[in-house]
Structure 1
Amino acid sequence: MSSLRPTPSSRSAYRVFRPIPTRWADNDIYGHVNNVVYYSWFDTAVNALLIERGALDIHAGDTIGFVVETQCHYFAPIAFPQTVDAGIRVAHVGSSSVRYEIGLFAQGADVAAAQGHFVHVYVGRETKRPVKLPDTLQRVLGELRI
């Protein structure tokens, strides 16, 4: 494990953005968004994009994604009532797995307030065993690769 702290990325490092409004309940006692909310934003940004582009059917699709790894680095606080722009890119595509990288930007900011990643392993809905990435998903991932 590297001991070097990463530096925040700029918007230009990401392929697509999704706005996410903060909620009153997202703030903690310290007056900023609680760290666990950032992981929810990662999930929301990626899965909403995949659903919108027809690459993921959460209700009836044969393939579903399981998160098997996640990490986040925090650089600056975000607080309600800010809107967050979640930048998304794909860093690695395997036969059944994908590493998504997400940058969270305060609306209008050029430098990430937080950034991280998560890895989805795609499995059969019934078997819960890894499966080859569906063609539609591979097409969308290709658009997001860095």
Structure 2
Amino acid sequence: MTGDYLYWDSVPTRWNDNDVYGHVNNVVHYALMDTVINEWMIKTAGFDPLRGGEIAMCVESHCVYKAEVAFPDTIRVGLRVGKLGRSSVRWEVGMLRGDGTLIAEGHFVHVFVGREGRRPVEIAGRVREEMQKLVIA
């Protein structure tokens, strides 16, 4: 399982991530996907979401829950690129509890658009180069 993802990050859960049922609420999984993907784009690929000419808009997201996780667990988030198109990328994400149990798998699709016109633009340069390193065979 861990070899299926080409980039890993660890994210600690927070006290307020737990819901009334005593586990991390489902919306946290989506926030983790969004956070790890965007942090990777900024730190690894040099993407500038605040001042760059392009932005990445989420057009689709999905998550399948496999097991519970609760504060104070740390979640290991694995990332890979399932499909890299001209202006879109399908990120695939696996989440593991600290003991290695798979807790969720999901995907997140970004379409890159011009900041001003909000029309699709080609993913180019360093961002594309770094994404290609995460493409699964």
TM bin (shorter chain): over 0.9
Partner of 1:117: 107
Asked whether 1:21 is paired with 2:22, we answer no
SS at match of 2:102: coil
Per-residue deviation, 1:31 = 0.5
Partner of 1:35: 26
Partner of 2:130: 140
Paired with 2:71 and 2:124, the residues of 1 have a C-alpha distance of: 38
Per-residue deviation, 1:55 = 3.2
SS at match of 2:113: strand
Asked whether 1:70 is paired with 2:76, we answer no
For 1:99, the aligned partner's letter is R
SS at match of 1:29: coil
1:56-67 to structure 2, matched below 5 A, reads 56-67=47-58
SS at match of 1:144: coil
SS at match of 2:133: helix
Q: Report percent identity of matched pairs.
A: 43
Superposed CA offset, 1:95-129 (max 9, x none):
100000000111240x4210000100000111111
Partner of 2:72: 81
Give the conservation status (yes or no) of the 8 Å contact 1:106–1:113: yes
SS at match of 2:39: helix
The Cα RMSD (Å) is 0.9
Select between 47-56 and 77-86 the one with higher mean Cα deviation. Answer: 47-56
For 1:117, the aligned partner's letter is H
Partner of 2:37: 46
Query: Which stretches of structure 1, 4 residues or more, deviate above 6 A after TM superposition?
Result: none
Q: Mark the runs of 5 or more structure 2 residues left unpaired by the alignment.
A: none
1:55 aligned to which of 18, 43, 46: 46
Q: Mark the runs of 5 or more structure 1 residues left unpaired by the alignment.
A: 1-9
Please report the TM-score for the alignment, with normalisation by the length of structure 1.
0.90
Aligned residues: 136
